[in-house]
Protein backbone atom coordinates (compact mmCIF):
# COMPACT_ATOMS: atom_id res chain seq x y z
CA UNK A 1 0.00 0.00 0.00
CA UNK A 2 2.84 2.40 0.82
CA UNK A 3 4.52 1.47 -2.45
CA UNK A 4 1.34 2.31 -4.39
CA UNK A 5 1.08 5.65 -2.61
CA UNK A 6 4.70 6.44 -3.45
CA UNK A 7 4.07 5.55 -7.12
CA UNK A 8 0.99 7.79 -7.12
CA UNK A 9 2.84 10.75 -5.62
CA UNK A 10 5.79 10.40 -7.97
CA UNK A 11 3.62 10.33 -11.10
CA UNK A 12 4.26 13.23 -13.40
CA UNK A 13 0.65 14.42 -13.34
CA UNK A 14 0.55 14.88 -9.57
CA UNK A 15 3.85 16.77 -9.49
CA UNK A 16 2.83 18.92 -12.47
CA UNK A 17 -0.48 19.73 -10.78
CA UNK A 18 1.26 20.66 -7.52
CA UNK A 19 3.64 22.96 -9.37
CA UNK A 20 0.74 24.51 -11.31
CA UNK A 21 -1.15 25.23 -8.08
CA UNK A 22 1.94 26.81 -6.48
CA UNK A 23 2.67 28.94 -9.54
CA UNK A 24 -1.02 29.87 -9.79
CA UNK A 25 -1.04 31.04 -6.18
CA UNK A 26 2.08 33.13 -6.74
CA UNK A 27 0.62 34.57 -9.96
CA UNK A 28 -2.62 35.39 -8.10
CA UNK A 29 -0.62 37.34 -5.53
CA UNK A 30 1.16 39.29 -8.27
CA UNK A 31 -2.06 40.11 -10.15
CA UNK A 32 -3.87 41.07 -6.93
CA UNK A 33 -0.99 43.32 -5.87
CA UNK A 34 -0.84 44.89 -9.34
CA UNK A 35 -4.57 45.55 -9.25
CA UNK A 36 -4.76 46.89 -5.70
CA UNK A 37 -1.57 48.95 -5.75
CA UNK A 38 -1.45 50.29 -9.31
CA UNK A 39 -4.84 50.07 -11.01
CA UNK A 40 -7.37 50.62 -8.21
CA UNK A 41 -5.79 53.94 -7.15
CA UNK A 42 -6.55 55.17 -10.65
CA UNK A 43 -10.19 55.15 -9.57
CA UNK A 44 -9.39 57.94 -7.11
CA UNK A 45 -8.29 60.29 -9.89
CA UNK A 46 -11.77 61.28 -11.09
CA UNK A 47 -13.44 60.76 -7.71
CA UNK A 48 -12.51 61.38 -4.13
CA UNK A 49 -11.56 57.85 -3.04
CA UNK A 50 -10.11 54.64 -4.47
CA UNK A 51 -11.88 52.27 -2.10
CA UNK A 52 -15.57 51.87 -1.47
CA UNK A 53 -15.11 49.46 1.46
CA UNK A 54 -16.35 51.98 4.02
CA UNK A 55 -19.76 52.37 2.35
CA UNK A 56 -22.50 50.63 4.31
CA UNK A 57 -26.03 50.92 5.60
CA UNK A 58 -27.77 49.49 8.65
CA UNK A 59 -31.24 47.98 8.93
CA UNK A 60 -32.49 46.74 12.32
CA UNK A 61 -28.97 46.56 13.67
CA UNK A 62 -27.63 44.52 10.74
CA UNK A 63 -24.82 46.13 8.81
CA UNK A 64 -24.78 45.77 5.02
CA UNK A 65 -21.35 46.57 3.61
CA UNK A 66 -22.23 47.13 -0.03
CA UNK A 67 -19.00 49.06 -0.57
CA UNK A 68 -16.96 45.87 -0.10
CA UNK A 69 -19.08 44.20 -2.78
CA UNK A 70 -18.48 47.13 -5.13
CA UNK A 71 -14.74 46.90 -4.42
CA UNK A 72 -14.79 43.16 -5.17
CA UNK A 73 -16.67 43.66 -8.43
CA UNK A 74 -14.30 46.40 -9.58
CA UNK A 75 -11.30 44.30 -8.57
CA UNK A 76 -12.68 41.30 -10.47
CA UNK A 77 -13.28 43.33 -13.63
CA UNK A 78 -9.81 44.88 -13.47
CA UNK A 79 -8.13 41.51 -12.84
CA UNK A 80 -10.11 39.91 -15.69
CA UNK A 81 -9.12 42.74 -18.04
CA UNK A 82 -5.44 42.51 -17.05
CA UNK A 83 -5.42 38.73 -17.55
CA UNK A 84 -7.26 39.03 -20.86
CA UNK A 85 -4.95 41.66 -22.33
CA UNK A 86 -1.65 40.46 -20.84
CA UNK A 87 -2.14 36.66 -20.95
CA UNK A 88 -5.06 35.51 -23.11
CA UNK A 89 -4.53 37.82 -26.09
CA UNK A 90 -0.76 37.10 -26.42
CA UNK A 91 -1.34 33.33 -26.11
CA UNK A 92 -4.11 33.46 -28.73
CA UNK A 93 -1.82 35.42 -31.05
CA UNK A 94 0.90 32.79 -30.62
CA UNK A 95 -1.57 30.00 -31.36
CA UNK A 96 -2.85 31.79 -34.48
CA UNK A 97 0.71 32.39 -35.67
CA UNK A 98 1.61 28.74 -35.11
CA UNK A 99 -1.50 27.52 -36.96
CA UNK A 100 -0.75 29.89 -39.85
CA UNK A 101 2.61 28.17 -40.27
CA UNK A 102 0.92 24.78 -40.41
CA UNK A 103 -1.51 25.90 -43.12
CA UNK A 104 1.27 26.67 -45.61
CA UNK A 105 1.29 24.64 -48.81
CA UNK A 106 3.49 21.53 -48.70
CA UNK A 107 6.91 21.85 -50.29
CA UNK A 108 6.96 18.28 -51.58
CA UNK A 109 4.69 15.78 -53.32
CA UNK A 110 4.85 12.12 -54.31
CA UNK A 111 6.27 10.97 -57.62
CA UNK A 112 3.48 9.09 -59.44
CA UNK A 113 5.96 6.46 -60.65
CA UNK A 114 8.12 5.56 -57.62
CA UNK A 115 6.16 7.32 -54.83
CA UNK A 116 9.29 9.17 -53.61
CA UNK A 117 9.02 12.68 -52.17
CA UNK A 118 9.96 15.28 -54.79
CA UNK A 119 9.70 19.10 -54.78
CA UNK A 120 6.33 20.49 -55.89
CA UNK A 121 7.85 22.38 -58.84
CA UNK A 122 9.93 19.42 -60.08
CA UNK A 123 9.44 18.27 -63.68
CA UNK A 124 11.58 15.14 -63.31
CA UNK A 125 11.90 12.74 -60.35
CA UNK A 126 15.38 12.70 -58.86
CA UNK A 127 15.02 9.05 -57.88
CA UNK A 128 13.51 7.29 -60.91
CA UNK A 129 14.07 10.10 -63.48
CA UNK A 130 10.47 9.85 -64.66
CA UNK A 131 9.04 13.01 -66.15
CA UNK A 132 6.30 14.54 -64.00
CA UNK A 133 4.14 17.54 -64.65
CA UNK A 134 4.69 20.49 -62.30
CA UNK A 135 1.94 20.87 -59.70
Indicate which CATH number applies to the domain containing 84. Answer: 1.10.1200
The tens digit of pLDDT for each residue in 87-121 reads 889 988 988 888 876 666 778 899 988 988 999 88
What ranges in the chain are assigned the alpha helix state H? 2-9, 12-34, 66-83, 89-102
Q: CA geometry: angle at 116 spanning 112 and 118, to 5°?
A: 85
Domain range for 116: 106-135
Q: Same domain for 92 and 119?
A: no
pTM, to two decimals: 0.48
Q: Same domain for 98 and 113?
A: no
Q: Same domain for 65 and 113?
A: no
Neighbours of 2 (CB within 10 A): 6
Q: Same domain for 73 and 22?
A: yes
The tens digit of pLDDT for each residue in 2-48 reads 788 777 767 667 777 877 888 888 888 887 787 778 777 777 666 66
Amino acid sequence: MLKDFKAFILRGNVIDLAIAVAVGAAFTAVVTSFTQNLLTPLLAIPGDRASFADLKFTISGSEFRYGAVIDSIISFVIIAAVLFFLVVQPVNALIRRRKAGEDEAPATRECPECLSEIPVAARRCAFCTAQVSPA
